[in-house]
Structures are given as structure tokens and as C-alpha cells.
Amino acid sequence: MRVPAPDIEKLVFTTLAGHLSDPQWLATIAGVADLTHLTKTIETGKRLALAIDKQQAGASKDTGPKAVAAFIQRIELGQNSVVLDINREALAAALGIAEPGRSADLKDDDEPIEIIVPMQLKRSGKQVRLILGEVTSKTRSPDGDLVRLVHDGHRWFDDLRSGRVATVAAIAKQDRQQVSHVSRNMSLAFLAPDITEMIVTGRQPVTLTPERLKASRPLPLDWNEQRAILLD
């Protein structure tokens, strides 16, 4: 059965926008070694997704079909799904990532990123329609206050370690914060990677609130102890 071109275009636009606005998917691609970098990547992804949505709705010409097509390396139409192969280099350039991270699902860095979209082909008279499955993320949006706390902890510790700022008091004065807040918050620079990823991607337990994180500072360096304090 021949699928109408507008249906294929809609699938591509919707799938890309859905994944680019999904912090968890972006974290898998970019990795979480550098929290500041990941936060910027997530923000860039959301902007790209919004531009794609606007272009699809005809409200903007900033992201046209040619720009979107730069991401797509191959489209394979099956009976119950569509497989999109995303060009890793093009995606990295658009997100400002020098080299996308490797996940367990990707064998080699030069291989495309594969997205599988559930769908059905339905005939209506002489027409064939492509019915999409769920392609957007069901994860919660990241809590901005939690992300900010962790981001500030990394930023302040890095400022002190690098010598950009000489003392904790100087950081507090520069950012108009209490010295005690800055000092306690620096322990978040050593937060367990899995907890950091939960917070950045919005997958933390509902019990892990900004208030609980603040009250738990300074955190111990042991990651298991951190998990017991924050996740139990």
C-alpha cells in the first residue's frame, strides 16, 4: 500500500519534536557527565521541538522540511511500525553536542540513532491512512527548582576549584546568596549520577522535592547513603 507523503512528513515531524522535547531521551544521547552541558542540551532540544511544531502548524518557516530532513538518514516502513534512522552528526550539531554519548543501545558512535514508531495502515476507500501510535514521552517535566539546586552546586564548586572565585564568601556575594546556602549546596556537586539524571530528566520520586533536597544538605559523599537519604 502506498502511504501519502503528508502522512510520512507528519510522522517525521511529530516523532522528532516528541523526542527532542524528552529530557530522558536527550540525557541518553548526551550523557550526564557535565550537568551544565546537559541542561543546555535539554533547553536546545525544547527550542528545536517548538520550532518543528510551529513549522508543522504553518506558523513558522524557521525549520523547514530541508532542515528536518538533515536529521533523517533512513525511513523504513513496516507493517506495524516505522523505523527512523537519525543522523548522529547532524543531531549533535543541532544540539550543540561535540560528540553524542554512547548508550547500551548503540553499538558504534558512527551508527545512526534508531527510533521505532508504532503505527497502523488503514484503508478508507481508495485512500490509505497512516495512524500513529504514541511517540511523545510520558515522563514528567523536570522540576526547575531541583535542577537549579544541583546546577548551582556544580557551578559553585567548579568556580572554587578552578580559582575563578577565591572563597565561598565571594561566591555568595557574587550570586547574592547566604554563605551557608552556598557552602551546603556545594555537596550537590558530588550527587550520585543516577540521582542527578533522575532530577535532570524529571524521573525523581515525587517525594524528592526541592525542600527535601535542601533539608538534606550537606549530603554525605557515599552514594548509597545519599540514596538512602533522598530516595527511601
Domain ranges across the chain: 5-132, 144-230
Half-sphere exposure of 172 (CA within 13 A, CB side): 13
Classify each residue of 70-86 as buried b or exposed e, where b means 16 or more C-beta atoms within 10 Å of its C-beta: ebbbeeeeeeeebebbb
Residue 226 pLDDT grade (very low, low, confident, very high; cuts 50, 70, 90): very high
Q: Name which of 29-38, 86-95, 105-114 the model is least confident about.
A: 105-114
Rg (CA), the chain: 21
> pLDDT at residue 124 above 90?
no
| Interval 208-218 mean pLDDT | 95
Residue 111 has pLDDT above 50, yes or no: yes
Which region among 56-65, 100-109, 112-121, 185-194 has the lowest average model confidence (pLDDT)? Answer: 100-109
pLDDT (0 to 100) of residue 61: 54
Answer whether 52's CB lies under 8 Å from 71's CB. no
What backbone phi and psi angles, to 5 degrees, belong to 82? -120, 130
pTM of the model: 0.56
**Given pLDDT bands bounded at 50, 70 and 90, which one contains residue 221?**
very high
- Distance separating alpha carbons of residues 195 and 205, to the nearest angstrom: 10
In the Cβ-directed half-sphere of 205, how many Cα atoms lie within 13 Å? 11
What is the model's pLDDT at position 9?
Answer: 80
Q: What are the DSSP calls for 53-104, one per residue?
A: HHHHTTS-SSS-HHHHHTTEEEEEE-SSEEEEEE-HHHHHHHHT-SSPPP-T
pLDDT of residue 121: 63
Q: d(Cα 124, Cα 14) in Å, to the nearest integer?
A: 23
* Chain segment 163-208, per-residue pLDDT in tens: 999 999 999 999 999 999 999 999 999 999 999 988 987 888 889 9
> Which pLDDT score is estimated for 105?
38
- Measured CA to CA, the distance from residue 6 to residue 48 in angstroms comes to 21
| Predicted pLDDT of residue 33 | 56
Q: Cβ contacts of residue 15 below 8 Å, gap of 6+?
A: 84, 115, 117, 135
If one compares 173 and 54, the residue with the highest pLDDT of the two is 173
CA distances from 159 to 84, 98, 101, 163, 221 (A): 42, 23, 25, 6, 20
**Which of 212, 198, 196 lies closest to 36 in space, CA to CA?**
196
Output 141 or 90, whichever has higher pLDDT: 90
Q: 123 CB contacts (<8 Å, ≥6 apart)?
A: 1, 129
Mean pLDDT of the chain: 79
